[in-house]
Structure 1
């Protein structure tokens, strides 16, 4: 018996026109989700997801809700075709969609939290001058050591912000320290790719934002999951509404543990993985974590699940 896990992408999967095909094939989605989101957030997400340019998506305060909405619409299409997940997980931002898919959050509440989260992170990023980068080819232990050395050399913060797959790790922090680490990592033989994150996601620099975000979390209605739900914050299962709140609170300052999350999905019995949302970044990560896994994607708007060819080595935060 096939057990399908739905996995939801984070920032980095956005692309121009990512909702165009979905809206063309299922125009009712525009009223059900996109225009309702426009009214809720005051952002023309329907237009941006259908006809927007890459420049429209440079601001994470726009890009993150747009990725969330496109993933939500793709989930609605899959469920309309009778495909339900056995388990769900999401990478960083994608965890909010996983919570919606598992029945923990209403989609409007999750969208509002996504907007607030991105605003808080952007505010801190503007104040401290932040940067984010993906390091490919170094072990986590070596990267932790380089973070410590860069922090000592610059008196600035740089930390491991995410474990995307065994040989790809994201770092986040203040720009000077990230630059120092980038040079050190390249000298050690690693490839480094600067990321356009819009703030120091998953770092201790966001501790001051936790209090404001926690107030909103406490005021939001959470329910116990209706199906197996794996957190990218802990790498383990979320069993209760209270655990979901703790996970989202910790997500601001704690690194993404995507390799562990995928391993937990596999250990739970999942044997097929469907990336639900724009792009195919997450499918590539899953394939590198589980080389023998069956991985599929909705791509940028396909009305049904299609096979992923060799996926590009892109990154998500």
Structure 2
């Protein structure tokens, strides 16, 4: 099996590359050579995927059995279309890492793989789309929906679209789980979003990588929601963080209405917390039927803490700074409840 990974040096892309090499596959990676180091054992090709010349040069390294694209999250659909067009004759299949944000109903409604998608042309530029007043839909969602169309317009039934919600695990660059682990380690009274029994559905990056590789080697097509089929309660999540870090703390469960009144930013100041009904109601049964297997989230928490405690550091990313409530703000809210 010969695989091309667009990206391949950090987080999901790196886990995909390492998994492919462990299967004995021949792996080519294509990236700018700026974020992370190429994994030993790959054939690295450096270039800019928005450059027609660089894409043509990359195509000269063909053929591949499949492409897994992990590096289009910040690109407009037109750039995705340029890459799929340039590489159409170089590969049989294209596995595209997308997002649940492509759905019209996200995050307000429960979702299945058949839920309606946002509309965006395959050749749209970065100006297409908008973000609603309540934060949904998002311009990002429109852009990613257009990216999906750019893949399916070119590859048709040879296209696979993976739509993860939240991905956690060793190497995480967003900072959600590392923030909660550090907060648990600090201990004391920990501001926590009620209800404690709310189930959340993050998936482990290693499980997403394995499923992406399985799809690259298969003959399936279409979209798959990638969320944990069992999930974990928020109280179980925080208990696991406290257990792994040894932090001498205890959650204080505060009503979401109070958190909103106090100006706590959903999704970022308390990572993984959002009040919209559909956030953690994403059905992944189609992916499970196709072979998606998700390890217990307690294992993800354990392994992320071990990576982090061993001075693990992700690539620099602007989203990291968005996550976590300031200690002073947290203390003020806790004092009021």
Instruction: Select the structure with the greater relative contact order (CA < 8 A; seq sep ≥ 6).
Output: 1
| Structure with the bigger percentage of helix | 1
Please report the TM-score for the alignment, with normalisation by the length of structure 1: 0.29
